[in-house]
Amino acid sequence: MLLAPLLLPLLLLALAAHALYKALSSPLNRIPGPWYARLTSLVLKWHEFRANRTRYIHELHLRYGPAVRIAPREMAFASAGAVREIYCSGGSGFDKTEFYDLFRVYGRRTMFTTLDKDHHARRKRIIADRYANSNIVRPKPLGGIAERAAKFAQRCAQSGLLVEFQLGLHAYAFDCVTHHLFHPHGTDSLLQGGKDEAIMREVTFDDSLQNRLFQHYWPTAHRLLHKLLYLFAKPRETPLADHFVLDSCNADDSAPFTLLDRLREPAHGLDPLDVAAECLDHMAAGIDTTGDALCFLMWEVSQPRSMRFQRKLQQEVRQTKAESPSSFVVDGMPYLDAVVMEGLRCFPAIPMSLPRYVPPGGRTIDGYFLPAGTIVSCQPYSVHRIDTAVFPDPDTFNPERWLDPKGDAERKRLLFAFANGGRGCVGKHLALAEMKLLLQAVYSRFTTLPDATMTEADMEMSDQLISSRPAGQRCLLRFVPLQESELLE
Ligand code: HEM
């Protein structure tokens, strides 16, 4: 009886001693990192909630090197060897963590949200051919993208040449991806606006980061407190987009090149909600990524420090247009390629960690043994910057580094913007075609300059759940018709 008041303190002491023992005896202790990462993940979470995970981890890499412990059970890597092991071993690398549960749509798992390899491989076998480069460059799919790129240039010319172009680029990416998913039922948010623009805005201006992080880390508390939480942190709600996709999936005249057409083939046995979930997922995956990758890239190309790159890009795209005025060209333009690669290197639309579990039996990465169940990841932002032998002066935008044949293989090996291996971006060729056709449409007609009201802070990288966007959520550029700007030189 006399010992009863001591029971609780003794229990707490035993728990604390156990936690300390685990922290001190963890096999991860050999791995460099801040001391507190051995004990708690709270500092990491603090940065995540403040939309700053990517930069925080990058600072740790700069301080501790390419292998860093960021939480008691979590490691970040930034080397080519780690990318190969985590994302490519056995074809599609290690299994995804439950972080990806946050991206389920209509309550279903899609290719992106399947956690284990076998489910993923089954779904990918159905989907991959619609995103193969050979399908993207066919006249109908590519012509649709070129048509939308021309509309974007038309919108620039119409709007008094001062363009809120982040929004315009999201509209462009939205119209391109819905063309590829649903043609002839794609959207026209670029020129028609209205209902289509409202859907694009709903997806673009989502502010659910904190709510969804809370849901990921504390699911039970989230279930109990979600109404209260709503007052401080909005959940992700996209009713317009949800309805648009369900309606589009009901149409029975989708073009043969579209994803919808493929998913609905009876042999695959997908029910209508599976089909809609996959399409909604790809639609969301295709808007912010391509839109913001272009936005950051064009913002940089418009700066005085990058004007010489813009001039060379203009020369190449104008020459190509003069040589083949009526065809859409996505290959054979080395300067355009270099600008796109450097844009993706400096401003990867998904800059953050792509988390995976170390498989049973454990694995050795960069010389460190990691037990099964450890969370490991690489973030494109750091993979593109940490090896200064491959990317000298890594924070400087310099497309011409990609034109040097020396080191080409090493640069390509470290380009991780679309991830790597079997779970890398399936939409890569579509995204590249969209980016290249848009840059051609703009830089064959205009010089772009930053508007005076814009600040560097507006264009700071702000982490969202997996992608990043300009912190100011706006980007104003002036589009000066080319003849006029040439006269100014
Ligand atoms: C510049 C544009 C883009 C970038 C930088 C990008 C980047 C990425 C990255 C890094 C991943 C891997 C994510 C992870 O493992 O967590 C990914 C996956 C994916 N992306 Fe993209 N993406 C872009 C455009 C697109 C487009 C246009 C589409 C489709 C229309 C798309 C559809 C997907 C899908 C479906 C996945 C999941 C693939 C799988 O799990 O097998 N992406 N993307």
One DSSP character per residue, 287-317 reads HHHHHHHHHHHHHHHTSGGGHHHHHHHHHHH
Please identify, by atom number, the ligand 1 atom nearest to the C-alpha of residue 176: 27
Task: List the CATH number of the domain containing 58.
Answer: 1.10.630.10
DSSP H helical segments within 26-164, as ranges?
42-49, 53-64, 80-83, 117-131, 133-136, 139-158
Which residue, judged by its Cα, is nearest atom 15 of ligand 1?
354
Question: 285 C-alpha vs ligand 1 centroid, how far in Å?
Answer: 6
Question: 424 C-alpha vs ligand 1 centroid, how far in Å?
Answer: 7
Span 69-82, pLDDT tens digits: 999 999 999 999 99
298 Cβ inside 6 Å of ligand 1: no
CB 48 within 8 A of CB 377: no
Question: 179 C-alpha vs ligand 1 centroid, how far in Å?
Answer: 17
pLDDT at 351: 94
Q: Return the best residue to mutate from 289, 341, 377 for the ligand 1 pocket (most ligand atoms within 8 A of CB).
A: 289
Which residue, judged by its Cα, is nearest atom 27 of ligand 1?
286
Count CB neighbours of 65 within 10 A.
16
419 Cβ inside 6 Å of ligand 1: yes
Question: 194 C-alpha vs ligand 1 centroid, how far in Å?
Answer: 27
Beta bridge pairs of residue 468: 463
Average pLDDT over residues 150-162: 79
Which residue, judged by its Cα, is nearest atom 40 of ligand 1?
112
Per the domain annotation, does 228 fall within a domain?
A: yes
294 Cβ inside 6 Å of ligand 1: no
pLDDT at 292: 93
83 Cβ inside 6 Å of ligand 1: no
Query: How remote is the C-alpha of 238 from its chain's centroid?
Result: 19
Q: Mapped to the 3 state alphabet, what secondary structure does 393-418 carry?
A: CCCCCCHHHHHCCCCHHHHHHHCCCC
390 Cβ inside 6 Å of ligand 1: no
Cα 61 to Cα 78: distance, rounded to the nearest angstrom: 8
Q: From its phi and psi, is residue 89 left (phi > 0), alpha (psi between -120 and 50) or beta?
A: beta
Which residue, judged by its Cα, is nearest atom 42 of ligand 1?
427
DSSP H helical segments within 325-388, as ranges?
334-346, 380-383
Per the domain annotation, does 340 fall within a domain?
A: yes
111 Cβ inside 6 Å of ligand 1: yes
Question: 12 C-alpha vs ligand 1 centroid, how far in Å?
Answer: 46
349 Cβ inside 6 Å of ligand 1: yes
Which residue, judged by its Cα, is nearest atom 35 of ligand 1?
282
433 Cβ inside 6 Å of ligand 1: no
Per the domain annotation, does 9 fall within a domain?
A: no
pLDDT at 484: 57
Angle at 328 between CA 323 and CA 331, to 5 degrees: 85
Angle at 240 between CA 238 and CA 242, to 5 degrees: 65
289 Cβ inside 6 Å of ligand 1: yes
Residue 68 host element (H or E): strand 67-71
Span 114-136, pLDDT tens digits: 988 888 999 999 999 999 999 99
Of the candidates 69, 62, 15, 4, the residue with the CA atom closest to the CA atom of residue 370: 69
124 Cβ inside 6 Å of ligand 1: yes
Per the domain annotation, does 188 fall within a domain?
A: yes
The structural domain count of the chain equals 1
Question: 289 C-alpha vs ligand 1 centroid, how far in Å?
Answer: 8
Question: 39 C-alpha vs ligand 1 centroid, how far in Å?
Answer: 34
CA distances from 177 to 256, 431, 450 (A): 15, 9, 27
Which residue, judged by its Cα, is nearest atom 18 of ligand 1?
425
Question: 286 C-alpha vs ligand 1 centroid, how far in Å?
Answer: 7
Average pLDDT over residues 277-291: 94
Per the domain annotation, does 6 fall within a domain?
A: no
Which residue, judged by its Cα, is nearest atom 20 of ligand 1?
425
Angle at 313 between CA 290 and CA 156, to 5 degrees: 55
Per the domain annotation, does 24 fall within a domain?
A: no
Per the domain annotation, does 290 fall within a domain?
A: yes
Span 314-373, pLDDT tens digits: 999 999 888 877 677 788 899 999 999 999 999 999 999 999 999 999 999 999 999 999
Q: What is the pTM of this model?
A: 0.92
Average pLDDT over residues 2-6: 72
Per the domain annotation, does 171 fall within a domain?
A: yes
Span 133-154, pLDDT tens digits: 999 999 999 999 999 999 999 8
Question: 141 C-alpha vs ligand 1 centroid, how far in Å?
Answer: 18
Phi/psi of residue 358, each to 5°? Answer: -65, 130
Please identify, by atom number, the ligand 1 atom nearest to the C-alpha of residue 173: 27
Q: Return the best residue to mutate from 105, 425, 467 for the ligand 1 pocket (most ligand atoms within 8 A of CB).
A: 425
Residue 126 or residue 237, greater confidence: 126
pLDDT at 165: 66
425 Cβ inside 6 Å of ligand 1: yes
Span 377-432, pLDDT tens digits: 999 999 999 999 999 999 999 999 999 999 999 999 999 999 999 999 999 999 99
Parent domain of 284: 32-488
Please identify, by atom number, the ligand 1 atom nearest to the C-alpha of residue 180: 30
Question: 428 C-alpha vs ligand 1 centroid, how far in Å?
Answer: 7
pLDDT, averaged across the chain = 90
Please, what's the b/e burial string for 114-144 (b: 16 or more CB within 10 A of its CB; e: otherwise)?
A: bbebeebeebbebbeebbeeebbbeeebbeb
Q: Which residues touch 403 (CB under 8 Å, ≥6 apart)?
A: 334, 335, 338
